[in-house]
Amino acid sequence: MTWSIGIDVGSVSAKGVIFNGEKWDYVVIPTGWMPRQAGKEVLDQLLRKADIGLDNVGIIVGTGYGRVNLDFTHKTFSEIVCHARGAHYLFPQTQGIIDIGGQDSKAIAIDSEGKVKDFILNDKCAAGTGRFLQVMAQVLGYEVSELGERCGTTEPVEIGSMCAVFAESEIIGLLAQGVSQERIVAGVLLSIARRVGTMATKLNLGPHVTFCGGVAQNQILQRFLKEQTGWEMEAPEKPQLVGALGAAIIGYELCGGGK
Amino acid sequence: MRAKTMEYFDQLIPKGMVLAKEAKEQGKPVVGYYCVFSPIELIEAAGAIPVGLCATKQEPIAEAEKILPRNLCPLVKSSFGFAISGKCPFFHFSDFVLAETTCDGKKKMYELLSEHKPMIVLDIPNSATLEDLNEHWLKQIYRAKEYFEKNLGTEISREKLREVIKVYNEERKLIMELVSLNKHHPTPITGTDLLKVLWGRSFQFNRQEFLDQVKTLITELKEMVANGQFSCSPDSPRILVTGCPTGVGQEKVMGIIQECGGAVVLQESCSGIKGFVDLVDEAKDPFLALAEKYNKIPCACVSPNKGRLSLLSKLVEDFRVDGVVDITLQACHTYNIESYSVKEHLRKNHNIPLLQIETDYSESDTEQIKLRVEAFLEMLK
């Protein structure tokens, strides 16, 4: 049986998916300081999980910012096409993707076959990315993963700064004024949803949009983003795996898998 | 494969620096200019050497930022930095500068620059629908004529100007013949090499030698095509680059496109073919003909700018373009806003996608640009 492997080395975590045309399994580990080593570790863990050797693998496809460093991949593709393929596989009716990763956020318009029609990425600053969320969580003394539960349905406070550094000062100012942490968390999430929502509506993706990337795990942000764009939005159970899954699918087709 | 004649063009700017000095030592007047709106035929007809001024590198920007705001177009900052730091020999050896009020950043920068060098600033209206546009331009041409005559102690006669216009028209035709070779697929010359030739044209001190070399290059490229030798592989998507000026020293984005497997077929911008597509009408009064040619330049600083859309339409068809990359310099509002209209125009009328890259002259965004370009090329395949 032919297997393909997709490895997506992002700024925060390294993800891998192993795929045989029907089933797929995955591994997620922190990228840490050595993207190449993280990618290799993902590969080893995937092989162990599937209980196969490297000679059973037809192709390894790399994606994500760390892809250039992986010497064991056969091919690399940008995360944009990989996200498109992954999302199309999971939700065949999807017309667009919003992906919020550690370092960037993107919106991708795709056709009915999962091919990229257009895309847009945030400019080179942290606003609207996972990193922005991380910095704000740190100021408030929370883990990023906690942010969703921390605000519930409280009224978001207005956060005007789009620069991560200025937003940090703004939050410190709001705390000093006695604004509750919950309202600030909601404000931070809303500001990201606005930023990314505005970017995504430039491409007119909707109405069936897949929300992916690690940040998509945050339910409140997902809700805000839906309100901002007016689109239906589905997030897969493991939204950070979409890129690696797409890479594995592209690889599977390239090595003639299933045919 | 690369044409051997390109070695001449590799050396053109460094050699020009030496020649600028020699020209001055021989008492030959030199007039610097920045922009494709500069009617350089007038400079030549006044018996001076027209030369482009340095503008497209990161290096002098820190010096400029001591005076200019940081959040300003890198082209304006770089021009100013080069001039005030004495690092641009062409500026140094210029008797004066012919400038123009193309954008707000430049026109305010020129106010500061005039402390360092005498200059004449042509008043370019930013409206393409100004009722007396031609008359206005004609007045500016006459203003420049009088300035040159007074400062160079010469007279610009109609006959002299006619002669120069003829020479420049020949040059334009030759350059367009060179560019047209890239209608072939795969392309015989890379976009960055084409840039080197077109950009180098403003820094040459021996026109005849330059023209001869362009002719040799054309012959060599034709031979390459006949022998099946090209500058890119047959599966390279064909990319047209448009947007803000992209000069030598700032080939970052074009370099990335080529590195990622795209073929930059040509550049529709003022550093590309914008100034070469239209000829000056030789049958008309030369001053009027100059005014008419230069006010037709389809730059985003002019509104409305329909000319750019029709030029792009023609180019994407003629050169069988697969995708367009629009390079916008940071803080260049006109090109940045116009990018939307260009994208919609290409999508609706030609079904050709556009990727906008907003950048400056630093290397800090290389990886981000690579990701966008790679994905764009994957999308075109």
Let me know whether A25 and A131 are in one domain.
Answer: no
Residue in A239, A259, A254, A257 with CA at minimum distance from that of residue A86 = A239
Let me know whether B173 and B283 are in one domain.
Answer: yes
pLDDT given for residue A204 in this prediction = 86
- Region B62-78: mean pLDDT is 96
Let me know whether A229 and A163 are in one domain.
Answer: yes
Q: Where are the beta strands (DSSP E) in chain B?
A: 30-33, 49-52, 96-100, 119-122, 238-243, 263-268, 323-329, 354-359
Q: What percent of chain A has pLDDT over 90?
A: 78
Let me know whether B271 and B254 are in one domain.
Answer: yes
Q: What percent of chain A has pLDDT over 70?
A: 99
Let me know whether A28 and A13 are in one domain.
Answer: yes
Let me know whether A10 and A137 are in one domain.
Answer: no
Given a cut of 70, whether residue A258 has pLDDT beyond it is no
> What is the tens place of the pLDDT at every residue in A172-211?
999 999 999 999 999 999 999 999 999 999 998 989 999 9
Domain boundary among B154, B185, B200: B154
Read off the amino acid at residue B360. D
Residue in B289, B300, B296, B230 with CA at minimum distance from that of residue B265 = B230
- Region B202-206: mean pLDDT is 93
- Region A11-16: mean pLDDT is 94
Which one of B252, B364, B371 makes the best mutation probe of the A interface by having the most chain A beta carbons within 10 Å? B371
Let me know whether A117 and A62 are in one domain.
Answer: no
Q: What percent of chain B has pLDDT over 90?
A: 96
Question: If pLDDT is split at 50, 70 and 90, which confidence band does B248 have?
Answer: confident
Given a cut of 70, whether residue A93 has pLDDT beyond it is yes
- Region B185-210: mean pLDDT is 95
Let me know whether B190 and B135 are in one domain.
Answer: no
- Helical segments of A24-156, H only: 35-50, 79-90, 130-140, 147-151
Given a cut of 90, whether residue A256 has pLDDT beyond it is no
Answer left, alpha or beta for residue A30, where phi above 0 means left and psi between -120 and 50 means alpha: beta
Domain boundary among B154, B176, B197: B154
Let me know whether A76 and A134 are in one domain.
Answer: no
Provide the shortest C-alpha distance from residue A153 to chain B (in Å).
Answer: 36
| Structure ipTM | 0.91
Minimum-distance CB partner of A78 among B358, B364, B371? B371
Q: Name the most confidently modeled range: A60-69, A191-200, B312-321.
A: B312-321
Let me know whether A166 and A228 are in one domain.
Answer: yes
What rounded mean pLDDT belongs to chain A?
A: 92
Side-chain half-sphere exposure of B149, counting CA atoms within 13 A: 10
Let me know whether A41 and A130 are in one domain.
Answer: no
Show the tokens assigned to A100: 């919020």
Domain boundary among B122, B154, B186: B154
Let me know whether B72 and B13 are in one domain.
Answer: yes
Parent domain of B46: 5-154
Let me know whether A46 and A126 are in one domain.
Answer: no
Q: Domain holding B71: CATH number?
A: 3.40.50.11890
Question: If pLDDT is split at 50, 70 and 90, which confidence band does B141 have?
Answer: very high
Residue in B270, B245, B273 with CA at minimum distance from that of residue B183 = B273
Identify all chain A residues contacting B375, using CB atoms and an 8 Å cutoff: 78-81, 116, 119
Q: Which residue has the tokens 């400029």?
A: B64
Count of domains forming chain A: 2
Parent domain of A137: 93-235
Let me know whether B142 and B168 are in one domain.
Answer: no
Minimum-distance CB partner of B378 among A81, A117, A124? A81
pLDDT given for residue A160 in this prediction = 85
Give CA–CA dist B376/B381, Å, rounded: 9
pLDDT given for residue B30 in this prediction = 96
Q: What percent of chain B has pLDDT over 70?
A: 100
Minimum-distance CB partner of B378 among A78, A118, A123? A78
Let me know whether B66 and B183 are in one domain.
Answer: no
Q: Domain holding A13: CATH number?
A: 3.30.420.40
Let me know whether B11 and B111 are in one domain.
Answer: yes
Let me know whether A103 and A194 are in one domain.
Answer: yes
Minimum-distance CB partner of A124 among B365, B374, B376? B365
Let me know whether B308 and B351 are in one domain.
Answer: yes
Count of domains forming chain B: 2
pLDDT given for residue A163 in this prediction = 84
> What is the tens place of the pLDDT at every residue in B104-132?
999 999 999 999 999 999 999 999 999 99
Identify all chain A residues contacting B364, using CB atoms and an 8 Å cutoff: 124
Question: If pLDDT is split at 50, 70 and 90, which confidence band does B208 have?
Answer: very high
CA B302, B372, B185 angle in degrees (round to 5)? 80
Given a cut of 70, whether residue A259 has pLDDT beyond it is no
- Region B300-316: mean pLDDT is 97
Let me know whether B118 and B178 are in one domain.
Answer: no
Q: What torsion, rounded to 10 degrees, do the Cα atoms B197, B201, B202, B203 define?
A: 80
Let me know whether A44 and A132 are in one domain.
Answer: no
Let me know whether B265 and B240 are in one domain.
Answer: yes
| Chain B residue set in contact with A, beta carbons under 8 Å | 353, 358, 364-365, 367-368, 371-372, 374-376, 378-379
Let me know whether A156 and A65 are in one domain.
Answer: no
What rounded mean pLDDT belongs to chain B?
A: 96
CB < 8 Å from B in window 68-107 of A: 77-81, 104
Let me know whether B212 and B354 are in one domain.
Answer: yes
Let me know whether B144 and B164 are in one domain.
Answer: no
> What is the tens place of the pLDDT at every residue in A117-160?
999 998 777 888 889 999 999 999 998 888 888 887 889 999 98
Using the Cβ of A123 and the Cβ atoms of chain B, whether some distance falls under 8 Å is answered with yes
